[in-house]
């Protein structure tokens, strides 16, 4: 185990000299680090049986989880000095401890230093930290403070995993994914196998004209999440948008993001039409035209040229929401550039114009 100490308040850097001493005390292994010759020189004079009589210092509050295997503890040296001044007591140095299972790590920190950094900590264990200080009064007597209130934190060295997410009801076609209506539901599953807890989902929408992020906070963070989120698409209809999903754990570490690209059409409640996308499209580049027609019993549509001649008959299953046209006629030949008409066989008032542009 190693303990590193640093000063986050001052520009100068303390040169640390480490002398590790392992002391067995029952089932507890204690490891000590001496941080400077100045503190080391005080120890022959400091009694080891001092009773704590001075008020305790205060460690800055620790988060429930800390990312990685390193943790830096913070406090205010100035507040301790200010508290001791009316008592005519001089602060000498701090002692800080980290304890977990059968390990106890401790080190000594100079006055004016406000932090101590512990490294190589174990993952998934609750680690307790506490702080106290040594001082000297005007008569030369050495004094000891009470221990601070302990602070605890768990080291989390693994990011959460976004297991899967999908848009409920999304239609997957060769020409592109799409949904009906801009109000969608998202099914999300994620897990944190490193002993952490998932705190929030981060959903970013990226489109030709926008880049927006929405956060979903989980009031009760858990190691695994299986939930459904509601979202209203910001991008305009019939324009490709990208949704990028990730989750973040309590330590602040995000998962690897995952993206879905799609477009949306108005729902039949808003727009009872046949709609084609992309339009125009280029079959020579492998593009398909997806033709939305969500009407029960509408299983056949016909592609007509500008003169009303039949070019192709399209069919779909009764439960499908779309037809697809690859830009070819009944003989398998790619049609010429121009405007074509797709008409529902069951209701000829439902149609859309499709432009082929190679």
Mean pLDDT over all residues of the chain?
A: 86
Tally of CA atoms within 13 A in the half-sphere of 206 that contains its CB: 10
Please give the pLDDT value at position 209. Answer: 83
Q: Identify whether residues 231 and 291 lie together within a single domain.
A: no
| pLDDT tops 90 at residue 294 | no
Is 45 found in the same domain as 143? Answer: yes
Nearest CA-CA partner of 80 in 153, 148, 11, 5: 148
What is the pLDDT, as a whole number, of residue 154? 94
Does 141 lie in the same domain as 72?
yes
Residue 270 lies in a domain: no
What distances in angstroms separate CA 173 from CA 170, 298, 324, 355, one per listed residue?
Answer: 10, 18, 8, 19
Any idea of the CA torsion for 343, 348, 352, 355, to the nearest 10 degrees?
A: 40
Shared-domain flag, residues 257 and 293: no
Q: What is the pTM of this model?
A: 0.68
Same domain for 195 and 329?
no
- Please, where are the H alpha helices in 71-224? 77-84
Residue 2 confidence (pLDDT) above 70: no
Residue-wise pLDDT for 70-91, tens only, equals 999 999 999 999 999 999 999 9
**195 and 89 fall within a common domain:** no
Instruction: Name the residue range of residue 234's domain.
Output: 161-265
Domain membership flag for residue 199: yes
Residue 316 inside a domain? The answer is yes
pLDDT of 25 strictly over 80: no
Q: Into how many domains does the chain fold? A: 3
Regarding whether 152 and 172 lie in a shared domain, the answer is no
Helix or strand run (H / E) with residue 73: strand 71-74
- Same-domain status, 14 and 142: yes
Taking only the tens place, the pLDDT of each residue in 115-164 is 999 999 999 999 999 999 999 999 999 999 999 999 999 999 999 999 99
The reply to whether 253 and 134 lie within a common domain is no
Is 230 in the same domain as 282?
no
Domain for residue 82, yes or no?
yes
CB atoms within 10 A of CB 259: 11
Q: Which of 156, 183, 207 is the last residue of a domain?
A: 156
What is the residue whose two structure tokens read 């049986």? 49
Task: Return the CATH number at 22.
Answer: 2.60.40.10
């Amino acid at each position: 185990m190693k303990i590193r100490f640093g000063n986050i308040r001052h520009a100068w850097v303390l040169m640390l000299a480490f002398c590790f001493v392992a002391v067995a005390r029952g089932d507890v292994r204690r490891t000590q680090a001496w941080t400077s010759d100045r503190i080391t020189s005080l120890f022959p004079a400091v009694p080891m049986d001092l009773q704590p009589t001075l008020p305790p210092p205060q460690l800055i509050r620790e988060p429930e989880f800390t990312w990685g295997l390193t943790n830096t503890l913070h406090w205010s040296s100035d507040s301790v000095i200010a508290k001791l001044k009316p008592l005519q007591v001089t602060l000498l140095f701090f002692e800080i401890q980290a304890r977990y299972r059968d390990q106890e790590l401790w080190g000594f920190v100079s006055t004016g230093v406000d932090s101590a950094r512990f490294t190589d900590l174990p993952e998934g264990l609750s680690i307790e930290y506490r702080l106290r200080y040594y001082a000297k009064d005007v008569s030369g007597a050495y004094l000891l403070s009470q221990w601070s209130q302990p602070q605890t934190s768990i080291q989390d060295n693994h990011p959460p995993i976004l297991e899967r997410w999908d848009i409920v009801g999304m239609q997957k076609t060769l020409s592109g994914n799409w949904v009906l209506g801009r109000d969608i539901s998202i099914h999300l599953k994620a897990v944190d196998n490193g002993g952490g807890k998932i705190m929030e989902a981060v959903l970013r929408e990226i489109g030709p004209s926008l880049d927006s992020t929405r956060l979903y906070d989980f009031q009760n963070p858990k190691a695994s999440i299986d939930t459904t989120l509601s979202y209203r698409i910001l991008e305009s209809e019939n324009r490709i948008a990208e949704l990028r999903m990730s989750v973040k754990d309590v330590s602040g570490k995000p998962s690897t993001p995952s993206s879905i690209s799609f477009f949306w059409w108005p729902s039949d409640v808003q727009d009872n039409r046949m709609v084609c996308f992309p339009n125009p499209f280029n079959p020579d580049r492998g593009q398909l035209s997806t033709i939305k027609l969500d009407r029960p019993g509408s299983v056949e549509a016909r592609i007509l040229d500008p003169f009303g001649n039949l070019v192709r008959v399209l069919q779909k299953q009764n439960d499908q929401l779309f037809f697809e046209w690859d830009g070819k006629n009944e003989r398998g030949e790619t049609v010429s550039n121009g405007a074509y008409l797709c008409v529902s066989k069951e209701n000829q008032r439902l149609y859309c114009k499709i432009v082929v542009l190679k």
